[in-house]
Amino acid sequence: MATNIDYMMKMIEDYLSGKTPRYIFDLDFQTEIIARYKKMVREHREYAELFYDLLSEDAVDVGDGLSDKEFKQLIRKQYNDLKNIANDGFF
């Protein structure tokens, strides 16, 4: 079981479903990705790297200038892209 990857995916799902407000998500995501990334890599290197690229670098890290709606749309797009790539068997 990929405990750390699952935890981070659940964090994204909770934000997208409205269970977690943006300000909490922003703070928690940054803290958790730092704490869990090496463990995620040990669980599944490709998934962890793709997660980091799509959701950390290309979404959360660039979201400061976005409205709440735009930010959520970006996170949802990147999350869906991650899921689609993973379902297709990665690269």
Amino acid identity of residue 4, one-letter, is: N
Tell me the pLDDT tens digit for each residue of 33-66.
999 999 999 999 999 999 999 999 999 999 999 9
Q: Does the pTM exceed 0.75? A: yes
